[in-house]
Structure 1
Amino acid sequence: MTDTQTRTLTAKDFETVYDDNHTFPFFEDENGYGIYGYGHIDKAEFARLVSEYDALAQFGPDDEITADDVNHTHAKVIEVADLDYEWRLEFAPESADTIPVTWVQR
């Protein structure tokens, strides 16, 4: 596929399996600054889960993530060829070609 084609993703594509006891409904970007979940997840719950993940990974901002830090938006899923990953998100206005995304910037 080229970098202009899209693919269909599900919540499973966004999961991070931390260990046998912890699976989170989001992934970190390659720099660890953004965390992205599939769908419009409750903001307070998303903040709680990001904080739990950060505590387990012993990583995170000095201030705890709160619901006020969490955003709901939409994004296109873009296939990427010849890179270390298969797809990327590109924020876009809601349309038939976008998916709902919950995200937080660290």
Structure 2
Amino acid sequence: MDIEEKEHLTGFRKNDDGWIARRLVAARTVAGFSQKAFAEHLGIKTTTYATQEKRGRPDMSVLRYLYRNHGIDFNFMLNGDFHHLPPTLQTALFEALASLAPDYDLRTNSR
């Protein structure tokens, strides 16, 4: 995969809610959690986290957790900037993003 394909896959420099939602799902997946387990781990209601994920508007506590515990930082989550992440983490995130249907809109749960 070349750099342009990686940037397209991550939505590099795109910070709209739809792209943030996709990256949030990928980050949670790479961290090894279902929505329910992730919410429980963070000590919040599943519906609260599911809404954050669906809308592409994660709470700061979610972003902090992903960074502190999994090395997935704000630059990636909010802007799709993966260049500084370790190669193994990049690969895992690319795979998680690639597994999402390209025409799937997380905010409406439709194609």
Structure possessing the higher relative contact order (Cα contacts under 8 Å, 6 or more residues apart): 2
Say which structure is richer in helix.
Answer: 2
Shorter-chain TM-score tier: under 0.3
Say which structure is richer in strand.
Answer: 1
